[in-house]
A = this chain, B = another copy of it.
Amino acid sequence: MVKISDVARHAGVSPSTVSYVLSGKRSISEETRRRVLDSVRTLGYRPHAGARALASSRSNVIALVVPLRSGIHVPVVMQMAIASVTTARTHDHDVLLLTQDEGVGGLERVAGTALVDAIIVMDVELHDVRLPVLRSLGRPSVLIGFPADPTGLTCIDLDFEAAGAACAEHLADLGHREIALIGAPPAVYERGTGFAERTRAGFQRAAAERGVHTVVRPCDPQDARSTAAGLLRDHPDLTGVVIHNEPATEPLLTAFRAAGRHVPDDLSVLAIAPDDLAERLGLTSIAIPADELGAQAVTLLMAKLDGREVPAATLLPPRLVVRQSTPPLP
């Protein structure tokens, strides 16, 4: 193994000079810098990560906690993870993968042993048990998702309120006068990931502003058929539906057809769902911006590591992609 002292000898300088060349923390003459960098290259020098971490108390590694819960849409998680890694690399950091099931102990471990400098937590719940730990860990963190009380934390998520509103507006613009929102199963509202409620608020607010009637229903994927049937029975004049419930999306479409409504001719449908799903089903949709969430979370974290101030809440604007399922009304 070639170490910093080898480089120093080869370049005819002291180890500290090499260190300063590499870190840029003190000014170095152009001449010296060049000689050192040449030596680094010809010797193939790579600083020892552990030594560096010990001396600088910075590991240049961040932790990413991924959820395990079933019901989570895996491609979205993966996309965020990949985006996080890619972005972290542009900041000269690496990503340590942690699973939800290590729980609070896992966070304490990687932070306590100084294995990582900072932490990203995905899939935060309203009353997540990890919140107090994250607050007291003494290391920067960023949450993807909003808890009930984000005080003292940095959070980022899709702006679900705006997404709900965008859906209502899109339908209103197309001429719909009575529209519905089919949301998450009751269990989600109870477990609480907050976004369900925010979507509803935006949806109803925007619809009200446009003078459009709204209905909102939760939906268990198992009960898609009865939910759809009930909705259409209770509101025969319904012409547009927003589905914000990924696993129920496909069953609901089937149920609408079974109920004698053909999408898009007799019913317009719009989804808040991962892009691959919407694409496959030909649905106009608002995607979960997984790439941006992952990338931005890292960017925020880096800013915090650099001691910069960052906004406590970051809401990514929804992007609506029009597909076949929401044509203009005749």
In the complex the two chains form, is B49's CB within 8 Å of A59's CB?
yes
Known contacts A53-B53, A59-B49, A94-B115; is-contact A99 B77 (Cβ 8 Å): no
Question: Interface code A76-119, partner B: CB below 8 Å = 1, 0 otherwise?
Answer: 01100110011001000011111101100000011011110000
Closest-by-CB residue of B relative to A112 is B46
Closest-by-CB residue of B relative to A106 is B89
Q: Which residues of B contact A50 (CB under 8 A)?
A: 49-54, 57, 59, 114
Q: What's the least CB distance linking A305 to chain B, in Å?
A: 16
Q: Which of A44, A48, A50, A98 has the most CB of B within 10 A?
A: A50
Answer whether residue A329 sits at the interface, using C-beta atoms and an 8 A cutoff.
no
In the complex the two chains form, is A95's CB within 8 Å of B94's CB?
no
Question: Interface code A152-176, partner B: CB below 8 Å = 1, 0 otherwise?
Answer: 0000000000000000000000000
Known contacts A49-B113, A114-B48; is-contact A102 B89 (Cβ 8 Å): yes
Docked pose: A78 CA to B113 CA in angstroms: 26
Interface residue count on the A side (C-beta < 8 Å): 39
Docked pose: A288 CA to B224 CA in angstroms: 30
Docked pose: A101 CA to B89 CA in angstroms: 11
Within 8 A of B (CB), among A25-59: 44, 46-54, 57, 59
Q: What's the least CB distance linking A1 to chain B, in Å?
A: 8
Give the copy number.
Answer: 2
Docked pose: A53 CA to B52 CA in angstroms: 10
The 8 Å CB contact of A68, one of B47, B57, B82, B110, is B82
Q: Which residues of B contact A232 (CB under 8 A)?
A: none
Q: Which residues of B contact A53 (CB under 8 A)?
A: 49-50, 53-54
Answer whether residue A75 sits at the interface, using C-beta atoms and an 8 A cutoff.
yes
Q: Which of A68, A74, A95, A109 has the most CB of B within 10 A?
A: A74
Answer whether residue A64 sits at the interface, using C-beta atoms and an 8 A cutoff.
yes
In the complex the two chains form, is A96's CB within 8 Å of B61's CB?
yes
Q: Which of A53, A75, A96 has the most CB of B within 10 A?
A: A53
Closest-by-CB residue of B relative to A58 is B50
A-side residues, CB < 8 A to B, are: 44, 46-54, 57, 59, 61, 64, 66, 68, 74-75, 77-78, 81-82, 85-86, 89, 94-99, 101-102, 109-110, 112-115
Supply 10 A–B pairs (Cβ within 8 Å), ascending by A: A46-B113, A48-B114, A49-B59, A50-B57, A54-B54, A75-B75, A81-B97, A85-B97, A85-B98, A97-B97
